[in-house]
Structure 1
Amino acid sequence: MNDRSRVVRSEEFRWVGVPVLPYRDRPDRYQGVVKQVLLGGSGEDERLSFETRYFEVEPGGYSMLERHGHAHAVVVIRGAGSVQLEGADHAIRPFDCVYVAPDAAHQFRADRGAALGFLCIVDRRCDRPRPADD
């Protein structure tokens, strides 16, 4: 465990020393999405009760249409796109905030001709997502 404060440096929407990971283990249900777990995802951050993640959706890509039992907060920081929340579509752009309620079906799409990047803050201990149609 590391109790030391620190800065995680960014370079053009990638964070130094933080692996770029596949978005999910179901590539048939999403397109062009990667993530980085910036804070709270390692033993060094075990005192945090939440994770801060960065997701990036390439132009034309989309996340899985999913639901899960935990809520999360999203802040758009790059590009533009849309989010589907419980069947309704909403345009989103930098600095818009999105609250996803527990068990709400949701999907993020980079459907405005640019990549869509957003920070997502969730409880560190949360349930696994499931497809919205399950």
Structure 2
Amino acid sequence: MAEVQTLPATLRRFQATDEGFRWETVSLKHYKPEGTHFRDITRQVLFGPESGLPAELRYFEVAPGGYSTFERHEHVHAVLILRGRGRAIVGEQLFEVQPFDLIHVPAWTWHQFQAAEDEALGFLCMVAVDRDRPIRPTSEEAEQLRRHPVIGPHVRL
């Protein structure tokens, strides 16, 4: 069996700041390099492949009024809301979310996370290390989604 090089035992202390939740020595990154299909969101990779786990634990923070990309993919998400309020669109369902809510996003399910207009939304997201690239809706799919009676008025593309 091949030996895997992993991090030694570490402690990264949590720091609540005026700009949001942070952890010592964890880089604050842009959500994605560029685009107009998301707004005001950052990510921090708390545990990645170097941890020796087959999963990645990430923290996303969405500024008030911001949102993640509306997308789907083969890999599954396990999400824990840590702070704030907002909405989660998962498939054809719309969930009002708050701290400590758990959300399971199944494979190939459209999804999006949105912060309330007056409050940031912060959540942990666990995914497999080996995963596929997200897919955004085609123009035909986008038109169908906009007409959906439950999620249509809330989808941000």
Inter-partner Cα distance in structure 1 for 2:89 and 2:112: 5
Is 1:68 the counterpart of 2:73? The answer is yes
Find the partner of 2:9 among 5, 13, 23.
5
Inter-partner Cα distance in structure 2 for 1:123 and 1:52: 9
TM-score, reference length from structure 1: 0.91
- Listed as ranges, the matches of 1:68-107 within 5 Å are 68-107=73-112
Is 1:17 the counterpart of 2:21? The answer is no
TM-fit CA distance, 1:86: 1.1
Inter-partner Cα distance in structure 2 for 1:132 and 1:85: 14
Partner of 2:41: 33
Give the secondary-structure state (helix, strand or coil) at the position aligned to 1:118: strand
Structure with larger RCO (C-alpha < 8 A, sep 6+): 1
TM-fit CA distance, 1:40: 1.6
Q: How many percent identity over aligned positions?
A: 39
Give the secondary-structure state (helix, strand or coil) at the position aligned to 1:27: coil
Structure 2: 5+ residue stretches without partners = 142-157
Contact 1:80 1:112 (C-alpha < 8 Å) held by counterparts: no
Q: How many residues align?
A: 131
Inter-partner Cα distance in structure 1 for 2:8 and 2:24: 18
Structure 1: 5+ residue stretches without partners = none
Contact 1:59 1:111 (C-alpha < 8 Å) held by counterparts: yes
CA RMSD of aligned residues (A): 1.5
For residues 86-123 of structure 1, the C-alpha deviation after alignment (integer angstroms, 9 at most, x for no partner) is 13211000000000000100000002520000000000
Inter-partner Cα distance in structure 1 for 2:13 and 2:130: 25
- Listed as ranges, the matches of 1:105-124 within 5 Å are 105-124=110-129
Contact 1:74 1:99 (C-alpha < 8 Å) held by counterparts: yes
Inter-partner Cα distance in structure 2 for 1:3 and 1:81: 35
